[in-house]
Structure 1
Amino acid sequence: MSAGSGTKELFELVAQLRAEGLAVGTDRVVLAAEALAGLPADPYRSLRVTLCTRASDLPIFDAVWASRSAAEPVPDEVAAGTVEPGAGTAAPGAETEPPTGQPAAAGGEDELTRRDVVHLTPAEREEIQRLIALLVPAAPRRPAMRRVPSRTGRIDAPATMRLMLRNGGEPSRILRSRRAQRPRRLLMLIDVSGSMRAYSDVMLRFAHAAVAVRPGTTEVFTVGTRWTRLTVELRARDADAAMRAVAEVETDWGRGTRLGPVLRDFLRHWGGRTVVRSSVVVISSDGVEYGNMAVLPQQVARLARLGHVVIWVNPALGDPGYRPVNPALDNSLPHVVAHLPGHSFEALRELAGVIAR
């Protein structure tokens, strides 16, 4: 495919990639078309970034690209994913700039934690996964009905009377009590549709960190075209073991999005239980929705009434050129207390802080 290629060539490339096993969703094709319109000079980089969602996709893409570019072969080092096309040998003493469309090398852990997880190398992704496991995403405590002895607080008349009776009726000390504190429940609803494929893994690892902190008061569900409970699988001590257990669960990975109807069905089953009531609810989704746009805002409003607060995590916010995708998300945001990105480790650390408020 040469510079200025049309829609037909893009669709042919996508069809060939799908035939080779790449799960290229419609949303990725749209992004690729927009990237070609913005960067017409060299389509290789923009198509490689937009059509590939995992490191394992890159060799397949490069092989397909080479087969389609017989007139202009891709060097072996490019096919191996180590050098970008057009990157020649720099003159002695000359500085080279990172290829357009590719992130510059990280200048330390601080820079790495701020980068979008989509642009990380496998080694960098492993480092971010290690850091995610160290997070402590725990909801704050809330007052319980039970009261406990305390040096301050209101007078505990029954306990004071019992103490007086033990002392022969003499008032020796006034006892006080306060309401006990118990952990507030945390409910995570993670979108695993095709448009969220690049971020589903890190959000599930974030959910595993939350379950590891408070396994008894944290619930995790995936949503897309249906809801699936993954709390039990995420209780594995090791994060990688938990991810393997999650992968074995039959769910709707990488499919479409019916977030409004799925939340409605979820609330029919779980809305009356402690899983939802007075919980901190975290919805991780880019808000891509099909069908009736009025359903999603209604269900988010219902979640806000049943739960303590609703937090919306939208990785698309990490893109400087982000624009709202549909009115369903816009009309849902008035019912949430925070709309956060979640596209990098730094954003996930911010999310953990908001959950703990």
Structure 2
Amino acid sequence: MPDLPELAAAFTAALHDAGIAVGPDRTRSFARALTLLAPSTTRELRHCALATLVSDPEQIELFDGVFREVFGGAADRGAQRGQPGDPPRSLPNTVPGRVPGTRTDTAGGRGRDADAQPRTAPVPLAASPLDRLAGRDFADLSAEELARLSEVMRTLVLRTPTRPSRRRRTAHHGARIDLRRTLSAGRRTGGYPLRLRRFAPRARPRDLIVLCDISGSMEPYARALLQLLYCAARATHAEVFTFATRLTRLTPVLRRGGPDDALARAGRAAPDWSGGTRIADCLAEFNERFGRRGMAHGAVVALVSDGWDTGPPADLATHMARLSRVAYRVVWVNPRTASPRYRPLVAGMAAALPYCDAVVSAHNLAALDDFAAALYARRCHR
């Protein structure tokens, strides 16, 4: 008789092979549900698995097919309903009242198979709101879902690679000798430095710069991406800009007050909201006013745009090349790339691609993991 971990691992592995994304967290939740609820029928077992392993209603049919193969046709929902007087069907190869591998208390004769009573507990039939929200496109979210998304995004941490700073730290295998500490320690041994003291530069996170397109073509994603800008502005060494027909620095606005007030002020501070798009002109302004002053030197720069530009593509390529020469890493965030039919046919996007280290979609909550990973990755050699 298989034990509980083997049951959970085998079933979740079968789901994963069938195309349902089942990670270690959901496997652990499934095993915990089996331990707490101790389902005695295949219907109860299906409810446990459905509540912990499935996050999209479209996956239920595929889930039932895998469940039917593993547990011998017990996943037929029509047959599970039965008649009011019908006895419930037991799990295959199990004793009623027990899940394979669960322990029973034999002290004092309690917990025997004949006396075991199945536990009853309400089983949720749908995934949590957060799981359902993870796969939804930002452009399709309602106002209530956007409010829930804001709460989740406040816990998002955007990290960048480290860079050596001018500050030093003691290191046993440092590349340079700390002459002052070496001579100071030598006074304890008659003036002879018996041990060389070394130091290495301290590491600090690289600056993060986010330039977000708020033109009309990006309006379906603007509400969610503005919350992403708030998260970026709260990060250490971060600068946030928006652009459509002009460049607007929003860092001071987003760093003051609570998230709701900050987002409202940010919307009022950008006068070109849902306007036209002049990516090349705004990027040229950023390079001239901020990039040359050192803001972009060695920084990770994220450009959030679909690539629609009213200017000549050659101008955008020129300013992107200039930016890539001073920035440590350039990440382009284009929600349109989430579609499998997407092709970089827009002239602006095609002109910018050769100067990007990574292109990600960030079109939903699950895709933000790729965005965070792209920011934290090391520079690739072009």
2:200: which partner in 1? 178
Fraction of identical pairs, as percent: 35
Deviation at 1:237, TM superposition (A): 4.8
2:172: which partner in 1? 151
Which of 125, 140, 165 pairs up with 2:161?
140
Distance 1:146 1:172 in 2: 26
1:212: which partner in 2? 234
2:345 matches 1:356: no
Distance 1:234 1:185 in 2: 17
Deviation at 1:123, TM superposition (A): 2.1
Which of 184, 198, 209 pairs up with 1:187?
209
Deviation at 1:229, TM superposition (A): 0.3
Contact 1:312 1:338 in 2 (8 A): yes
Deviation at 1:285, TM superposition (A): 0.1
Deviation at 1:207, TM superposition (A): 2.0
Which of 353, 359, 379 pairs up with 1:333?
353
Contact 1:212 1:237 in 2 (8 A): no
Deviation at 1:200, TM superposition (A): 1.9
2:146 matches 1:125: yes
1:252: which partner in 2? 272
Which of 325, 334, 347 pairs up with 1:314?
334
Contact 1:263 1:299 in 2 (8 A): yes
Contact 2:169 2:202 in 1 (8 A): yes
2:297: which partner in 1? 277
Contact 1:296 1:329 in 2 (8 A): no
Contact 1:185 1:278 in 2 (8 A): yes
Deviation at 1:228, TM superposition (A): 0.4
Deviation at 1:238, TM superposition (A): 2.3
Deviation at 1:263, TM superposition (A): 0.7
| CA distances 1:281-333 after superposition (whole Å, capped 9, x unpaired) | 00000000113121111111111111101000001112333333422211211
Distance 1:208 1:291 in 2: 29
Q: Secondary structure at the match of 2:152?
A: helix
Amino acid in the other structure paired with 1:238: G
2:256 matches 1:236: yes
| CA distances 1:150-190 after superposition (whole Å, capped 9, x unpaired) | 23323323321233246541335321111111221000000
**Alpha-carbon spacing, 1:197–1:277, altered in 2? closer, same or farther (3 Å):** same
2:205 matches 1:162: no
Q: Secondary structure at the match of 2:242?
A: strand
Q: CA RMSD in A?
A: 1.9
**Alpha-carbon spacing, 1:289–1:212, altered in 2? closer, same or farther (3 Å):** same
Structure 2 unaligned blocks of 5 or more: 1-77, 79-125, 378-382
TM-score between both structures, scaled by the size of structure 1: 0.66
Runs of 4+ displaced beyond 6 Å: none
Distance 1:220 1:348 in 2: 17
Distance 1:203 1:123 in 2: 16
Q: Secondary structure at the match of 1:243?
A: helix
Contact 1:282 1:313 in 2 (8 A): yes
Count, aligned residues:
251
Amino acid in the other structure paired with 1:356: Y
Contact 2:244 2:275 in 1 (8 A): yes
Q: Name which of structure 1's ranges 338-347 and 198-207 shifts more when overlaid on structure 2.
A: 198-207
Distance 2:147 2:202 in 1: 40
2:134: which partner in 1? 113
**Alpha-carbon spacing, 1:250–1:355, altered in 2? closer, same or farther (3 Å):** closer
Larger radius of gyration: 2
Q: Secondary structure at the match of 2:239?
A: strand
Amino acid in the other structure paired with 1:323: R
Q: Secondary structure at the match of 2:251?
A: coil
Contact 2:242 2:270 in 1 (8 A): no
Distance 1:244 1:289 in 2: 27
Contact 2:146 2:224 in 1 (8 A): no
Distance 1:190 1:166 in 2: 59
TM-score between both structures, scaled by the size of structure 2: 0.62
Distance 2:198 2:351 in 1: 48
Amino acid in the other structure paired with 1:118: A
Contact 1:138 1:210 in 2 (8 A): no
Q: Secondary structure at the match of 1:289?
A: coil
| CA distances 1:19-52 after superposition (whole Å, capped 9, x unpaired) | xxxxxxxxxxxxxxxxxxxxxxxxxxxxxxxxxx
Distance 1:123 1:271 in 2: 39
Q: Secondary structure at the match of 2:308?
A: coil
Distance 2:352 2:270 in 1: 29
Deviation at 1:107, TM superposition (A): 4.3
